[in-house]
Structure 1
Amino acid sequence: MKNGGTPKRGEVNYWNNGNIPWLKTGEINNNVIIKSEEYITELGLKKSSAKLLPVNTIVMALYGKGTAARIGLLKLEATTNQACCAMICNDFNKTLFLYLFLLFNQKEIENLASGSVQQNLSKDLIANLKIVVPPNSIIENLPFKEIYNKITNNCFEIEKLTKIRDILLPKLMNGEIDVSNIEV
């Protein structure tokens, strides 16, 4: 388990032209994560407590009412801010089992948050959750992998189609592309 970190916002060399995805808790919404809103540079990664997380890492938001305990499944290498806890398993089926366990028990986990102004979870609290884990033979035979591979492929396809739409729509609207002769 790892917490994230935020490079200094005022240091442009940590942010400008960055190519390392950096996630905020608002991007974690019980979802498969295929992109981020912000990026940091190699220098920003090196000079902060941010850590590069591998594909198939589970990330959990730690702070905020309605935000704490939300989870995401990384489908890209990424970093996160310090309001996230990353969980790395050594096997994809075990990752998916943990992801679904956390999702199923999310309300109970959120209720463990404490704080008078803002509800907070901690890495230690998450690390000490009691999880009943079935034998490997059962986990290996569950259809998690196929289902989440399909979900991931669909997310990437939606992202690709959205980009194509965003390129074509303005060209259609200004008449740069004429579709009047196309039969449907």
Structure 2
Amino acid sequence: MSFDYDLPHGWSWKTIEEVQESSKGATITGPFGSSIGKKFFVEKGVPVIRGNNLSLDMIPFIDNGFVYVSEEKAEELKRYKSIADDLLFTAAGTIGQVGIIPKKSKYEEYIISNKQLRARLNTTIVDPTYAYYWFSSKPMVEYIKRQNTGSTIPLINLGVLRSLPLPVPSLDVQFKVRNILGSFDKKIWLNRQTNQTLEEMAQAIFKSWFVDFDPVKAKMNGEQPEGMDAATASIFPEKLVESELGLIPDGWKVLPSEKVANVAIGKTPPRKEPQWFSEDNKDVTWISIRDMGKSGMYALDSSEYLTQESVDKFNVKVIPDNTLILSFKLTVGRVAITHGEMTTNEAIAHYKLSDDAPVSTNYLYSYMKQFNFESLGSTSSIAKAVNSKIIKALPVIVPSKDILGSFDTLVKPLFDKIKSNQIETQNLEVLRDTLLPKLLSGEIELGTSEELVEAI
């Protein structure tokens, strides 16, 4: 155990082996690959936990996206079963991923895959949720990564798992720490749920106006558009006309993306020269597709940064605040809006709008979220088919300025609230992720952390 923490009075360092349940098989590695291969998967049955159910981002458990084995097969693999409060660790691939089976889960039991490790703890010594928070904290994730025993694929084994260190105070203190961190999680979860609802509201308006053309169709039938005031209804056309994308409202245009925005592509400095890259968030934010997958509507931060010298030397495009970014390689169609200036790698396009652009960022985001990217592919693999030329030619439906203005007025409060919630969530995540290490170091006292919870 190598941590620079002098533990508070009454706390002690213990390993997983010292606090595991006393029964045989409390800590195990998943079954040999051939025991649980694809040929045993069924449509419904007992779910198999894989890497996609765990996370590096302090998400306790992703309770979906399973493959299944039959009840009979699960009984054959019963020593690999996992139940509520079991801790889970990725053994191969993205090591450092940690999860815990929730008490209220979709299933009573699971089977772990051959790339997972399971730890079942003695609950008279350690609260499993407290332990989960420790093992998923940034210092421990980095510690686990350093235990890599693989040569080509990152690996940790059962020996590594059993030797992982855990600071153990009394159960009463563990419960307090768990509840404090859980309060942060509840607020984070609420913000994410609220943002999902707000985005659905914005997308519903966009779909009605600019995909289904409901106001135009209502007027064509001599009806008042539902839920719309007369002044707004009056600016919509009364007929649909043919275009390259099919029927669109009269007077609207279909323009290639490069006629709507200045479309640029990101860049990656030479990977063999590590001096151009940084882990310091004071350097230049450099967004990847993986970052976009975690970001939500707004891209706030990245997992890796570029030095200012590398941005200048390799002419990496700096993207302005409030600019749409779109992934078009490997994973096609992830969309986000920048918050502050940033850069991206070469798999991401930027749609920079001029002051007199025919669309807004909020409109363009909504449009791209509903765009059928499969329509761009000319091969069986959309990820290989789409290139920068196709992205620049991507067709955009452009409404009249009056209708665009009405849409922006309607959805701006929704987008603003989503951004505000995302920023608050990011701040809460930083507090939560660093709270336990700060408790250990004495930088924050338990009473002070309880006051933090009352303030959120």
What TM-score, normalized by structure 2, do the two folds share? 0.36
Report how many residues are paired. Answer: 179
1:178/1:42 CA distance change after superposition, 3 Å: closer
User: What does 1:1-184 align with in structure 2 at a 5 Å threshold?
Assistant: 1-16=263-278, 19-29=283-293, 31-64=297-330, 67-90=331-354, 94-105=360-371, 108-115=372-379, 118-142=383-407, 143-172=410-439, 177-179=445-447
Paired letter, 2:292: I
Point out the more displaced range, 170-179 or 73-82. Answer: 170-179
Per-residue CA deviations over 1:96-125 (Å, capped at 9, x if unaligned) read 1011001011xx213423456653422221
Q: C-alpha separation between the residues in 2 aligned to 1:56 and 1:102?
A: 15
Cα contact 2:322–2:338 (8 A) shared by 1? yes
Q: C-alpha separation between the residues in 2 aligned to 1:86 and 1:141?
A: 25
Q: Which runs of 5+ in 2 are unaligned?
A: 1-262
Q: C-alpha separation between the residues in 1 aligned to 2:406 and 2:380?
A: 44
Q: Which runs of 5+ in 1 are unaligned?
A: none
1:76/1:138 CA distance change after superposition, 3 Å: same
Identity level (%)? 28
1:12: Cα distance to partner? 3.5
Cα contact 1:35–1:76 (8 A) shared by 2? no
Q: C-alpha separation between the residues in 1 aligned to 2:341 and 2:446?
A: 40
Paired letter, 1:178: L
Paired letter, 1:2: A
Paired letter, 2:273: E
1:166/1:138 CA distance change after superposition, 3 Å: same
Paired letter, 1:156: I
What TM-score, normalized by structure 1, do the two folds share? 0.83
Could you say what the CA RMSD is over the residues aligned between the two structures, in angstroms? 2.8
Point out the more displaced range, 118-127 or 147-156. Answer: 118-127
Paired letter, 2:388: K
Matched residue, 2:235: none
Cα contact 2:286–2:304 (8 A) shared by 1? yes
Paired letter, 1:153: S
Q: C-alpha separation between the residues in 1 aligned to 2:343 and 2:446?
A: 43
Higher relative contact order (CA 8 A, sep 6+): 1
3-state SS, counterpart of residue 131 of structure 1? strand
1:138/1:34 CA distance change after superposition, 3 Å: same
Paired letter, 1:69: G
Point out the more displaced range, 116-125 or 67-76. Answer: 116-125
Cα contact 2:297–2:418 (8 A) shared by 1? no
Q: C-alpha separation between the residues in 2 aligned to 1:178 and 1:130?
A: 56
Point out the more displaced range, 167-176 or 36-45. Answer: 167-176
Q: C-alpha separation between the residues in 2 aligned to 1:31 and 1:177?
A: 35
Point out the more displaced range, 51-60 or 4-13. Answer: 4-13
1:80/1:114 CA distance change after superposition, 3 Å: farther
